[in-house]
A and B are shown apart, each in its own frame.
Chain A
Amino acid sequence: GESVGLHLPTLSVQEGDNSIINCAYSNSASDYFIWYKQESGKGPQFIIDIRSNMDKRQGQRVTVLLNKTVKHLSLQIAATQPGDSAVYFCAETGGTYKYIFGTGTRLKVLA
């Protein structure tokens, strides 16, 4: 069930540490951004979203930061757990159905 494969950037973190996953988006006109988590053998699952009129949004253990000046999005996961191991995608859209997905980052949580 691998989503994308052998050449994904990989972030390895110790269990309990915080994780930061970064994404550079492509379109300065994009105004809605989403982070998805994809576990092996499953479809992408929505984690958190943010509109372009915000810089930061917090969920349960996750925070998304948006820097429109440099077209950068990050996902912070607090107290990373083994169940957080997955591939994480950012997606952007300019207010339409068409999402542009990033290539993904594989997060490995080390025990």
Chain B
Amino acid sequence: DAGVIQSPRHEVTEMGQEVTLRCKPISGHNSLFWYRQTMMRGLELLIYFNNNVPIDDSGMPEDRFSAKMPNASFSTLKIQPSEPRDSAVYFCASSLAQGEIHEQFFGPGTRLTVL
């Protein structure tokens, strides 16, 4: 079974440029999460989708960040304009929410470096 797929695996860009990160969740999963991981803050939840609808975006740092989920098999996280402090590893995770259990499966991550 293919797990969560993310692309690109590595992205190096210059400050001010637009960055788009992509995620394909596990087929059949109804929940999708975007996380950011840094040395200082560890893993932070950015946004949570359920059945393609954004449920909780309280973790999105600011208006420069936006996320979409146009269908059950694809999501994007966009940063425009990017800044050096956005440098981090961004993870997408998906789960099949059943009752109270939300076991999350993580993708390999996208390492973003903003120069």
* Interface of A toward B, CB cutoff 8 Å: 1-7, 31-32, 34, 36, 41-46, 49, 89, 93, 95-99, 101-104
Which residues of B sit under 8 angstroms from A34, Cβ to Cβ?
103
Are A42 and B103 within 8 A (Cβ)? no
Q: What would 6 more interface pairs be, CB under 8 Å, given A93-B102, A104-B42?
A: A4-B38, A43-B91, A43-B106, A46-B104, A49-B103, A96-B100
Which residues of B sit under 8 angstroms from A102, Cβ to Cβ?
42
Q: Which of B18-74 contact A (CB under 8 A)?
A: 31, 33, 37-39, 42-43, 45, 48, 50, 55-56
Are B102 and A96 within 8 A (Cβ)? yes
A3's nearest neighbour on chain B, judged by CB, is B37
Are A97 and B31 within 8 A (Cβ)? yes
Main secondary structure of the interface of A (DSSP, over half): loop
Are B39 and A4 within 8 A (Cβ)? yes
Are B106 and A44 within 8 A (Cβ)? yes
Number of cross-chain contacts by CB at 8 Å: 63
Q: What separation, in Å, do the CA atoms of A108 and B36 have in the docked complex?
A: 25
Q: What separation, in Å, do the CA atoms of A44 and B103 have in the docked complex?
A: 12
A36 to chain B, nearest CB (A): 8
Interface pairs A-B: 7 shortest CB-CB: A43-B106, A5-B39, A95-B100, A101-B43, A44-B106, A97-B102, A43-B109
* Contacts known (A1-B111, A3-B37, A43-B91); A97 close to B42, Cβ less than 8 A: no
Which residues of A sit under 8 angstroms from B112, Cβ to Cβ?
none
